[in-house]
Protein backbone atom coordinates (compact mmCIF):
# COMPACT_ATOMS: atom_id res chain seq x y z
CA UNK A 1 0.00 0.00 0.00
CA UNK A 2 1.36 3.41 -1.04
CA UNK A 3 1.45 5.78 1.98
CA UNK A 4 0.96 8.82 -0.28
CA UNK A 5 -2.39 7.43 -1.53
CA UNK A 6 -3.85 6.47 1.81
CA UNK A 7 -2.69 9.30 4.00
CA UNK A 8 -4.04 12.79 4.50
CA UNK A 9 -1.51 15.53 3.76
CA UNK A 10 -2.53 19.14 4.39
CA UNK A 11 -1.64 22.09 2.17
CA UNK A 12 -1.68 25.59 3.74
CA UNK A 13 -3.77 28.08 1.80
CA UNK A 14 -3.16 31.68 3.05
CA UNK A 15 -5.60 34.25 2.11
CA UNK A 16 -5.12 37.78 0.75
CA UNK A 17 -4.35 40.71 3.08
CA UNK A 18 -6.93 43.60 3.36
CA UNK A 19 -6.21 47.03 1.90
CA UNK A 20 -7.38 50.46 3.02
CA UNK A 21 -7.88 53.51 0.88
CA UNK A 22 -6.71 56.95 2.10
CA UNK A 23 -9.33 59.49 2.94
CA UNK A 24 -8.75 63.17 2.29
CA UNK A 25 -10.50 66.28 3.68
CA UNK A 26 -11.78 69.48 2.04
CA UNK A 27 -11.47 73.00 3.43
CA UNK A 28 -14.73 74.99 3.34
CA UNK A 29 -14.55 78.07 1.08
CA UNK A 30 -14.21 81.44 2.70
CA UNK A 31 -17.57 83.19 3.00
CA UNK A 32 -18.27 86.57 1.29
CA UNK A 33 -20.66 89.26 2.32
CA UNK A 34 -21.75 91.41 -0.67
CA UNK A 35 -22.84 94.95 0.03
CA UNK A 36 -26.10 96.36 -1.32
CA UNK A 37 -27.64 99.84 -1.74
CA UNK A 38 -26.38 103.22 -3.16
CA UNK A 39 -22.77 102.70 -2.23
CA UNK A 40 -21.49 105.65 -4.31
CA UNK A 41 -23.42 108.15 -2.20
CA UNK A 42 -22.01 106.84 1.07
CA UNK A 43 -18.44 106.36 -0.24
CA UNK A 44 -17.71 109.02 -2.88
CA UNK A 45 -14.17 107.64 -3.56
CA UNK A 46 -15.32 104.00 -4.01
CA UNK A 47 -14.50 104.11 -7.68
CA UNK A 48 -10.85 104.99 -7.07
CA UNK A 49 -10.61 102.39 -4.36
CA UNK A 50 -12.01 99.73 -6.67
CA UNK A 51 -9.55 100.77 -9.31
CA UNK A 52 -6.66 100.40 -6.89
CA UNK A 53 -7.89 97.02 -5.77
CA UNK A 54 -8.28 95.89 -9.36
CA UNK A 55 -4.76 97.02 -10.21
CA UNK A 56 -3.25 95.07 -7.32
CA UNK A 57 -5.32 91.92 -7.78
CA UNK A 58 -3.29 88.75 -8.48
CA UNK A 59 -3.95 86.68 -11.61
CA UNK A 60 -6.76 84.13 -11.40
CA UNK A 61 -5.74 80.83 -9.73
CA UNK A 62 -3.06 82.22 -7.38
CA UNK A 63 -3.33 83.55 -3.84
CA UNK A 64 -0.21 84.71 -2.01
CA UNK A 65 -1.99 86.25 0.97
CA UNK A 66 -0.90 85.20 4.49
CA UNK A 67 -4.30 83.62 5.15
CA UNK A 68 -3.96 81.44 2.03
CA UNK A 69 -0.49 80.26 3.09
CA UNK A 70 -1.87 79.49 6.53
CA UNK A 71 -4.61 77.33 5.01
CA UNK A 72 -2.21 75.47 2.70
CA UNK A 73 0.04 74.22 5.53
CA UNK A 74 -2.65 72.06 7.20
CA UNK A 75 -3.55 70.69 3.77
CA UNK A 76 0.05 69.64 3.11
CA UNK A 77 0.25 68.05 6.55
CA UNK A 78 -2.97 66.11 5.89
CA UNK A 79 -1.55 64.96 2.55
CA UNK A 80 1.65 63.67 4.14
CA UNK A 81 -0.36 61.93 6.88
CA UNK A 82 -2.48 60.21 4.24
CA UNK A 83 0.59 59.03 2.33
CA UNK A 84 2.29 57.82 5.52
CA UNK A 85 -0.86 55.94 6.60
CA UNK A 86 -1.10 54.21 3.24
CA UNK A 87 2.55 53.14 3.26
CA UNK A 88 2.26 51.92 6.85
CA UNK A 89 -0.83 49.91 5.94
CA UNK A 90 0.96 48.16 3.08
CA UNK A 91 3.83 47.28 5.42
CA UNK A 92 1.74 46.08 8.36
CA UNK A 93 -0.97 44.19 6.45
CA UNK A 94 1.24 41.26 5.35
CA UNK A 95 2.96 41.16 8.74
CA UNK A 96 -0.40 40.86 10.50
CA UNK A 97 -1.61 38.23 8.02
CA UNK A 98 1.54 36.13 8.46
CA UNK A 99 1.30 36.40 12.26
CA UNK A 100 -2.30 35.17 12.23
CA UNK A 101 -1.35 32.28 9.94
CA UNK A 102 1.66 31.30 12.05
CA UNK A 103 0.21 31.63 15.54
CA UNK A 104 -3.61 31.71 15.47
CA UNK A 105 -5.58 30.32 12.52
CA UNK A 106 -4.65 28.81 9.18
CA UNK A 107 -6.48 27.37 6.21
CA UNK A 108 -5.64 23.84 5.05
CA UNK A 109 -6.81 21.53 2.30
CA UNK A 110 -7.20 17.79 2.84
CA UNK A 111 -5.15 15.59 0.52
CA UNK A 112 -6.01 11.90 0.87
CA UNK A 113 -8.66 9.48 2.08
CA UNK A 114 -7.45 8.43 5.55
CA UNK A 115 -10.10 10.53 7.40
CA UNK A 116 -13.10 9.43 5.33
CA UNK A 117 -15.98 9.61 5.81
CA UNK A 118 -15.49 12.40 8.37
CA UNK A 119 -13.35 14.44 5.96
CA UNK A 120 -13.11 14.08 2.20
CA UNK A 121 -10.24 14.66 -0.17
CA UNK A 122 -10.22 18.36 -1.15
CA UNK A 123 -12.11 19.64 1.92
CA UNK A 124 -11.00 23.12 3.02
CA UNK A 125 -10.41 23.47 6.76
CA UNK A 126 -9.69 26.15 9.36
CA UNK A 127 -7.20 25.01 11.99
CA UNK A 128 -6.89 26.63 15.40
CA UNK A 129 -3.21 27.07 16.34
CA UNK A 130 -3.73 29.30 19.37
CA UNK A 131 -3.69 26.50 22.04
CA UNK A 132 -0.32 25.33 20.78
CA UNK A 133 0.98 28.91 20.65
CA UNK A 134 -0.21 29.55 24.21
CA UNK A 135 1.46 26.36 25.44
CA UNK A 136 4.78 27.56 24.05
CA UNK A 137 4.41 30.89 25.83
CA UNK A 138 3.39 29.37 29.17
CA UNK A 139 5.70 26.32 28.85
CA UNK A 140 2.77 24.03 29.64
CA UNK A 141 2.17 21.14 27.24
CA UNK A 142 -0.93 21.32 25.06
CA UNK A 143 -2.73 17.97 25.35
CA UNK A 144 -5.68 17.71 22.93
CA UNK A 145 -8.80 15.91 24.13
CA UNK A 146 -9.55 12.35 23.12
CA UNK A 147 -11.54 12.38 19.92
CA UNK A 148 -10.10 15.71 18.74
CA UNK A 149 -8.92 15.92 15.14
CA UNK A 150 -5.43 17.39 15.06
CA UNK A 151 -2.79 18.43 12.55
CA UNK A 152 0.81 17.46 13.31
CA UNK A 153 4.22 17.20 11.69
CA UNK A 154 5.45 13.67 11.06
CA UNK A 155 9.06 13.06 10.06
CA UNK A 156 10.09 10.14 7.88
CA UNK A 157 7.23 10.54 5.39
CA UNK A 158 7.90 12.24 2.07
CA UNK A 159 5.48 14.93 0.97
CA UNK A 160 4.70 15.97 -2.62
CA UNK A 161 7.67 18.39 -2.58
CA UNK A 162 10.18 15.71 -1.59
CA UNK A 163 10.53 16.91 2.01
CA UNK A 164 11.02 14.17 4.61
CA UNK A 165 8.20 15.51 6.75
CA UNK A 166 4.45 15.66 6.24
CA UNK A 167 1.68 17.54 7.96
CA UNK A 168 -0.95 14.91 8.71
CA UNK A 169 -4.48 15.05 10.08
CA UNK A 170 -5.68 12.29 12.44
CA UNK A 171 -7.94 11.69 15.42
CA UNK A 172 -6.60 11.44 18.98
CA UNK A 173 -7.28 7.98 20.45
CA UNK A 174 -4.84 7.58 23.35
CA UNK A 175 -3.54 10.18 25.86
CA UNK A 176 -0.26 10.43 27.80
CA UNK A 177 0.22 7.67 30.38
CA UNK A 178 -2.39 5.34 28.86
CA UNK A 179 -1.93 1.88 27.38
CA UNK A 180 -3.29 1.39 23.87
CA UNK A 181 -3.84 -2.07 22.41
CA UNK A 182 -4.92 -2.82 18.84
CA UNK A 183 -5.84 -6.45 18.43
CA UNK A 184 -8.54 -8.58 16.81
CA UNK A 185 -9.80 -5.59 14.85
CA UNK A 186 -10.50 -3.48 17.95
CA UNK A 187 -8.88 -0.58 19.84
CA UNK A 188 -8.68 -0.90 23.63
CA UNK A 189 -7.47 1.88 25.96
CA UNK A 190 -6.41 1.19 29.54
CA UNK A 191 -6.20 3.99 32.11
CA UNK A 192 -7.06 4.76 35.75
CA UNK A 193 -10.75 5.20 34.94
CA UNK A 194 -10.91 2.00 32.92
CA UNK A 195 -8.37 -0.44 34.38
CA UNK A 196 -10.02 -3.29 32.48
CA UNK A 197 -9.88 -1.33 29.23
CA UNK A 198 -12.55 0.14 26.95
CA UNK A 199 -13.00 0.87 23.26
CA UNK A 200 -13.18 4.65 22.67
CA UNK A 201 -14.75 4.05 19.24
CA UNK A 202 -17.88 2.74 20.96
CA UNK A 203 -18.42 5.42 23.62
CA UNK A 204 -20.03 8.09 21.43
CA UNK A 205 -17.28 10.65 22.03
CA UNK A 206 -16.92 10.80 18.26
CA UNK A 207 -18.48 9.07 15.29
CA UNK A 208 -16.69 6.95 12.69
CA UNK A 209 -18.02 4.46 10.16
CA UNK A 210 -15.12 2.00 10.41
CA UNK A 211 -16.22 -1.27 11.98
CA UNK A 212 -12.75 -2.75 12.37
CA UNK A 213 -9.24 -1.50 13.16
CA UNK A 214 -6.51 -3.68 11.65
CA UNK A 215 -3.17 -3.97 13.37
CA UNK A 216 -1.28 -5.53 16.23
CA UNK A 217 -0.11 -2.87 18.69
CA UNK A 218 0.48 -2.81 22.44
CA UNK A 219 2.08 0.43 23.63
CA UNK A 220 2.23 2.45 26.85
CA UNK A 221 2.30 6.15 26.08
CA UNK A 222 4.92 8.18 27.88
CA UNK A 223 4.30 11.71 29.19
CA UNK A 224 4.14 14.01 26.21
CA UNK A 225 2.91 11.31 23.79
CA UNK A 226 -0.46 10.61 22.15
CA UNK A 227 -1.80 7.82 19.94
CA UNK A 228 -3.59 8.84 16.73
CA UNK A 229 -5.61 7.01 14.08
CA UNK A 230 -7.35 7.93 10.85
CA UNK A 231 -11.11 7.43 10.76
CA UNK A 232 -10.69 5.28 7.64
CA UNK A 233 -8.98 2.57 9.66
CA UNK A 234 -8.32 0.23 6.74
CA UNK A 235 -6.64 2.96 4.66
CA UNK A 236 -4.67 5.15 7.06
CA UNK A 237 -1.03 5.39 8.02
CA UNK A 238 -1.01 6.45 11.67
CA UNK A 239 0.35 5.49 15.11
CA UNK A 240 -0.22 1.83 14.27
CA UNK A 241 2.64 2.23 11.77
CA UNK A 242 4.91 5.09 12.90
CA UNK A 243 4.21 4.92 16.65
CA UNK A 244 3.09 7.57 19.18
CA UNK A 245 3.12 11.26 18.28
CA UNK A 246 5.00 13.74 20.47
CA UNK A 247 2.99 16.74 21.69
CA UNK A 248 5.78 18.91 20.29
CA UNK A 249 4.74 17.77 16.81
CA UNK A 250 1.17 19.04 17.18
CA UNK A 251 0.38 22.07 15.01
CA UNK A 252 -3.25 22.72 15.89
CA UNK A 253 -6.79 21.43 16.24
CA UNK A 254 -9.41 21.27 13.52
CA UNK A 255 -11.97 24.02 14.08
CA UNK A 256 -14.15 24.32 10.96
CA UNK A 257 -14.70 22.71 7.62
CA UNK A 258 -15.59 25.66 5.38
CA UNK A 259 -15.62 24.03 1.94
CA UNK A 260 -17.65 22.62 0.35
CA UNK A 261 -20.28 25.08 1.55
CA UNK A 262 -23.04 22.47 1.82
CA UNK A 263 -20.84 20.47 4.23
CA UNK A 264 -19.63 23.34 6.41
CA UNK A 265 -19.25 22.09 9.96
CA UNK A 266 -17.75 23.04 13.32
CA UNK A 267 -15.66 20.40 15.10
3-state DSSP call for residue 229? strand
pLDDT of residue 157: 75
Distance from C-alpha of 266 to C-alpha of 148, rounded to nearest angstrom: 12
3-state DSSP call for residue 198? strand
User: Cβ distance 189 to 178 under 8 Å?
Assistant: yes
- Looking at per-residue pLDDT, the higher value among 83 and 200 belongs to 200
Residues ≥6 apart with Cβ < 8 Å to 29: none
Nearest alpha-carbon partner for 128 in 110, 154, 148, 157: 148
| Prediction pTM value | 0.65
pLDDT of residue 226: 98
Q: What is the largest CA-CA distance in the chain?
A: 120
Question: Considering the domain 104-266 in this protein, what is its CATH number?
Answer: 2.10.109.10
Distance from C-alpha of 76 to C-alpha of 66, rounded to nearest angstrom: 16
Residues ≥6 apart with Cβ < 8 Å to 83: 22
Q: Where are the alpha helices (DSSP H) in 31-146?
A: 39-42, 46-56, 66-103, 130-138
Distance from C-alpha of 190 to C-alpha of 251, rounded to nearest angstrom: 26
User: Cβ distance 68 to 87 under 8 Å?
Assistant: no
pLDDT of residue 176: 97
**Phi, psi for residue 214 in degrees, rounded to 5:** -65, 155
- Delimit the domains of the chain by residue range: 104-266
End-to-end CA distance of the chain: 30
Percentage of residues in the chain having pLDDT higher than 90: 49
Q: pLDDT digits over 84-136, tens only?
A: 777 777 776 676 666 566 667 789 999 999 999 999 999 999 999 988 888 88
User: Cβ distance 186 to 225 under 8 Å?
Assistant: no
Q: pLDDT digits over 166-190, tens only?
A: 899 999 999 999 999 999 999 999 9
Amino acid sequence: MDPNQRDNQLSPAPGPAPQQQPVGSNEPPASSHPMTGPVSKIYPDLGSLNGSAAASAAPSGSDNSPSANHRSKPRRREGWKSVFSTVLLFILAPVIALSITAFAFQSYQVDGQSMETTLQNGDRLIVNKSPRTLSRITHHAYVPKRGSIIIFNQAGLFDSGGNQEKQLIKRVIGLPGERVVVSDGQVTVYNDEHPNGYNPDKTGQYSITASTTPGNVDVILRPGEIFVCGDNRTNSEDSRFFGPVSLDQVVGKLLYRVMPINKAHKF
